[in-house]
Amino acid sequence: MDKVTVVGAGHVGATAAQYIAEKNLADVVLIDIVDGLPQGKALDLMEAAPVNMHDRKLVGTNDYADTKGSDIIVITAGIARKPGMSRDDLLKTNANIVRTVAQETFKHSPDAIYIVVTNPLDVMTHLVQKTTKLDSKKVIGMAGVLDSARFQTFIGMETGFSVEDIRAMVLGGHGDLMVPLTRLATVNGIPISELLPQAKIDEMVDRTRNGGAEIVKLLKSGSAYYAPGASVAHMVEAILRDKNRLLPCAVLPQGEYGLKDVYIGLPAVLGREGLKKIVEIKLTEEEKEALHGSAKSIKENIDLMNELLVAV
């Protein structure tokens, strides 16, 4: 039986665990530092199993020993920015949390593949790889799947067509400098430029870049978790079932797109060993410039993290 550990039993972690179990992908260990939280959510999810017709086991725990032998480690643990908290404070706090999680999980599952969800996502993915010293093919960030799903959703809303026929890809960092590839977005092969005016496409790009903030504003307390959780499960399925899915993920290029030494969202083929390869497509000069601008911003945040943390 495949085993997935989800670290962090908040909304994103618990929802990811739910989707993973309901898609019958793996048994799930849900771990959190809060006593009772992962245990209660895991039990609740187990009690839903007869209704959802699966026999996957879900275990809630506060002990990393229970994560032993995991095939995949999903890291959602961290905090959201609070009033009065600077971005530096958030970066330092989450970096400390993620570094500890990486150290503890690696002790018990040194062969696992990591999927990183904690924000700032690209920087945290870099930190997990540096902490575990795993081959970068086994440490992958989630956000491109989520950002692309949001873009596809908005295309569906504007065109009225089924999202099942919509394909779109968002590259770059998970933030304001993400790079939606509008010229490659299609509805059953038809470019969206033939279906929508440029002004409407520009609006959708802006909405995609601010997709998370829009939900935070609406909720007033908390942030998105259904789509992030589904995006995690999508990646878990691609890996465990060796599906060779071409998905935008935060990966570490080795010269592709003229980039090195920075985790950033690129077209990635996922399978049982994690990242199988980065697919290099021809970008326009404008797209390439935007992608490199995003990479520069991520590198600056990595440098800042290294200053804030001791011996990263």
Tell me the catalytic residues: 174
Single out the residue of 48, 47, 38 nearest to residue 6, CA to CA.
38
Residues 98/87, Cβ–Cβ less than 8 Å: no
Single out the residue of 277, 267, 276 nearest to residue 247, CA to CA.
267
